[in-house]
Amino acid sequence: MSMIFEITLVAVVVAVACALPGVFLVLRGTTMVSDAITHTVLLGIVLAFFITQDLNSPLLMIGATLVGVATVWAIEALQQTKLLSNDAAIGIIFPLFFSIAIILITRYAGNVHLDVDAVLMGELAFSPFRRLMFLGMDLGPRALWTMLIILFINCLFIFLFYKELKITTFDAGFAAALGFSPVLVHYGLMTIVSLTAVGAYDSVGSILVVGFMVGPPLAAYLMTNKLHVMIALTVLMALVNSVIGVQLAFMLDTTIAGMIAVVTGVTTLTVFVFSPKKGLIKAFLNRRKEQKKMDQRLKTIEQAGR
């Protein structure tokens, strides 16, 4: 396999793995949870480092995932009180966890090369050079395997809990009335969001994680009202963005993750403007139509009045 092909493959798998849970983040209006996670993982890394005293320990990755889960759970718990809006809950937890990590580093580990980059590689361009070897066999880029496993877990979760996810997302009250807990499904979802974010962070870097989780589902959301169609479109958008992004990056000789993020932004905005269902142009035309209808009606009333 060539370099470009392998990089494209990794990008596609990461994009799809991120986009799937992203669908539900978009529908629930908690997209910025992904941004929060990519920052608070630092706290997990710092805490795990204090235990292991070793920057190369796999425990650091585990710590990162656990704090990612703690982040989403804490945000979730705050939201459940109904005293705060979604974004406010994120706004409290994310800076809190992140700044604790920063303070711990400056206070106790000022001279250690301790930051997220040192543990989570986050470089798509070099993913073909980090390979998984098993019994002397070269099985391909390691990131590909990590993300394939995460993709599988995400698919399985959505497949098994499709109905539950659907009901709790669109009508949490009704779900509770039916007797199953929206909270449990929600925590499950948030846990796979955290796992996906940390895994993807290690293969593509932090900004792209947010882009991958939010961009494609948002574009898909603007094109359809049906959940299963939205999921299919999300996967398609994720594919298109990463394939075009990698190609453009090689053409223009620039950073790959950055290029995919740009392509994601462009395609999402394009859909936002041109979507045949809910796009900006469509909305404008609809408004014009309504106005005309209204004028017509007013005219009829006037005429009738005479």
Partner 1 sequence: MKWVRGLVGVLSLSLMAACGNEQADDVSEDNPLNVVATTSMIADLMEIVGGENVTVSGLMGPGVDPHDYQPSTSDVNTMTEADLIAYNGLMLEERFVEVFEQMDQRGVPSVIMADALNETELLDPEEGEEDLEYDPHIWFSVSHWEAVTSHVADVLSEMDPDNEGYYQDNADTYLSELDELRTYIEERIEEVPEQSRYLVTAHDAFQYFGEEFDFEVIGLQGLNTQTEAGTGDISNLADFLVDNEINAVFVESSVSPRNIEALIEAARSRGHDVENAGELYSDALGSAEEDADTYLKMYRSNIDTIVDGLAN
* Residues found near partner 1 in the complex (CB under 8 A): 2-5, 7-8, 53, 55, 102, 105-106, 109-113, 115, 117-118, 120-123, 125-126, 128-131, 133, 138, 223, 233, 236-237, 239-240, 243-244, 246-247, 249-250, 253-256, 258, 276
Q: Helices 182-204 and 59-80, interaxial angle, to 10°?
A: 140
Q: HSE of 157 in the Cβ direction (CA atoms, 13 Å)?
A: 23
Q: Which is nearer to partner 1, 117 or 171 (CB)?
A: 117
Which residue, 87 or 115, is less far from partner 1 as judged by CB?
115
Cβ-based nearer residue to partner 1, 145 or 161: 145
- Identity of the residue, 213 or 256, whose beta carbon is nearer to partner 1 in the bound complex: 256
- Smallest distance from the beta carbon of 177 to partner 1, in angstroms? 35
User: At residue 18, what is the residue type?
Assistant: C
- If you search the block for the tokens 């997302």, which residue do you land on? 169
d(C-alpha 175, C-alpha 1), whole Å: 48
149 three-class SS? helix
* Nearest residue to 152 (alpha-carbon basis) of 196, 115, 190: 196
Residue number, 27 or 109, with CB nearest to partner 1: 109
With contact defined as beta carbons under 8 Å apart, do 43 and 101 qualify? yes
DSSP letter, residue 128: G
